[in-house]
Structure 1
Amino acid sequence: MSLADPDEVRAHLVGAAAAGHPLTYSELLARLGHGFSRPKMRALCKTLGAVDRDGAARGEPELAVLVVRQSDGLPGQGWWVDGGARDHGYDGPWEGPRAAAFVAGLQQRAFDYWAVAREGRLD
Structure 2
Amino acid sequence: MSKESRFGHLIDNWEAVKQEVREILIECARQRKTITYGELSSRLKTAHIPAYSYAMSALLGEIIREGEAEEWGILATLVVRKSDGLPGAGYFKAMAARGIPASEYRAIWETEFKRVCDYWQQH
In the superposition, the TM-score normalised over structure 1's length comes to 0.73
Give the superposed CA RMSD: 2.4
In the superposition, the TM-score normalised over structure 2's length comes to 0.73
Matches within 5 A, 1:76-87: 76-81=88-93, 83=94, 85-86=95-96
1:11 paired residue among 23, 40, 56: 23
Mapped contact 1:26–1:35 kept (Cα < 8 A): no
Work out which structure has the larger RCO, using CA pairs closer than 8 Å and 6 or more positions apart in sequence: 1
Mapped contact 2:72–2:115 kept (Cα < 8 A): no
User: Structure 1: how far apart are the matches of 2:110 and 2:40?
Assistant: 19
**Which blocks of at least 5 consecutive residues in structure 2 are unaligned?**
1-8
Mapped contact 1:45–1:78 kept (Cα < 8 A): yes
Residue identity over aligned pairs, in percent, reads 34
User: Structure 2: how far apart are the matches of 1:7 and 1:109?
Assistant: 20
Q: Which residue of 1 aligns with 2:120?
A: 114
Alpha carbons of structure 1 residues 60 and 37: separation in structure 2 relative to 1, 3 Å: closer
Q: Which residue of 1 aligns with 2:102?
A: 92
User: Structure 2: how far apart are the matches of 1:74 and 1:30?
Assistant: 19
**Which blocks of at least 5 consecutive residues in structure 1 are unaligned?**
118-123
User: Structure 1: how far apart are the matches of 2:40 and 2:60?
Assistant: 11
Q: Which residue of 1 aligns with 2:32?
A: 20
Number of residues of Structure 1 aligned to a counterpart in Structure 2 = 108
- 1:44 deviates by 1.3
User: Structure 1: how far apart are the matches of 2:79 and 2:89?
Assistant: 12
Q: Which residue of 2 aligns with 1:65?
A: 77
SS of 2:102's equivalent in the other structure is coil
Q: Deviations over 1:64-115 (max 9, x none)?
A: 111000011111111111x1x236642124xxxx644332221111110000
Mapped contact 2:77–2:87 kept (Cα < 8 A): yes
